[in-house]
Structure 1
Amino acid sequence: MIKHTICACGIAAALAACGSKTETAPPPAPQSISSESIGHYCTMNLAEHIGPKAQIFLNGKPDKPVWFSTIKQMFGYTKLPEEPKGIAVIYVTDMGQVGDWNKPNADGAWIDAKKAYYVIESGFIGGMGAEDALPFADKAKAEQFAQEKGGRVVGFDDMPEAYIFQ
């Protein structure tokens, strides 16, 4: 009887240990813009647009990002109640690493959107012919751009809804 109790306790402990290991897979890596990269809202190829872009990976869909022609569109997607909320990761163009602002993603300069600093209200006209936010990985580069060209710097969580939906 004692042998069975010890065995049962051992099995229970082993099962509990298995259940406590919650390994999460790393987020998908950003993808390069190709002829298959079609904007979620505009349904146009992203390569045809200037300015920074964004890509969102939804949980369970690591091979197929949702593409955005502008940064404002990406923010709108995260705020609109009718859009999916199971977001694994968001990537935006790091404009501080871009050599040619007319083809910003030729350099593959993708960064985690939640860690980026955004210059807003600078008057920069983005991919859809309207003012857009400019993401930077380096806060000093964002502040320098805002000082030289105008605008102000905000973080991901501080992006004003009034700016997104204007």
Structure 2
Amino acid sequence: MRKALILLVPVAALFLSACSEEKAEAPPPVPLTEQALSHYCQMWVSEHGGPKAQIHLEGMPNPLFFAQVRDAVAYLRSSEREAPVTAVYVSNMSVAKSWDEPGMSNWIDAGSAKFVIGSDAKGGMGAPEVVPFADETDASNFVAKRGGKVATLDEIPDDTVLGAVEFDLPGETTR
């Protein structure tokens, strides 16, 4: 009986310490700078219009920036990430100065954003964009002007961000 009791004490201490550990808080968003490079294309994020995104990964001091929100959602849906995701922020187009100037520090949590999908909006890299808003009314107003529908992050279909994209080349027209 004494051996069993001695073994239970370390096991109980392990469970109690696990229960008392606090869940790590998500890091705050980082203001966009002129030096931020887009994760996939390694181009300057600030040189492209439309909403942006940043993804924070566990153990990494700096976020990954994306010139298009569509690319960030594609990254989230990919199984090939460098580390677990700790936070995702997107431009709040509800307060953006314009499409070309979405803001350097007006980030919102992607989990609470309302996204417009299927509109005629093209992101900074020319692909159809997933447009984030903090305010659902603003998202609905965007839909009324540009088409599409409002969705949450989880409701965005995979083919919206992972599907093939046709681009118009300069001097060519799409039939």
**Aligned match of 1:132 in 129, 139, 164?**
129
Q: Which residue of the other structure, out of 67, 70, 73, is the alignment partner of 1:69?
A: 67
Q: Percent identity?
A: 35
Structure 2: how far apart are the matches of 1:13 and 1:40? 44
Is there any run of 5+ residues in structure 1 with no aligned partner, and where?
none
Structure 2: which amino acid aligns with 1:161? D
Q: Do the aligned residues in 1 keep the contact of 2:54 with 2:63 (CA within 8 Å)?
A: yes
State the distance in 2 between where 1:103 and 1:26 align.
30
Secondary structure of the corresponding residue to residue 135 of structure 1: strand
Whole-angstrom CA distance in 1 between matches of 2:112 and 2:83: 19
Q: Where in structure 2 are the equivalents of 1:91-130 lying within 5 Å? A: 91-106=89-104, 108-130=105-127
How many residue pairs get aligned? The number is 157
| Contact 1:120 1:153 (C-alpha < 8 Å) held by counterparts | yes
Corresponding residue for residue 168 of structure 2? none
Q: C-alpha separation between the residues in 2 aligned to 1:14 and 1:101?
A: 55
RMSD of aligned residue pairs (Cα, Å) = 2.2
Bigger helix fraction: 1
Q: State the distance in 1 between where 2:117 and 2:11 align.
A: 56
Using the size of structure 2 for normalisation, the TM-score is: 0.80
Which amino acid is 2:91 matched to? T
Which residue matches 1:27? 26
Q: One-letter code of the match for 2:93?
A: M
Q: TM-score, normalised on structure 1?
A: 0.84
Q: CA offset at residue 60 of structure 1? A: 1.8
- State the 1:101 CA deviation: 2.1
Unaligned runs of 5+ in 2: 164-175
Which of 71, 79, 82 aligns to 2:80? It is: 82
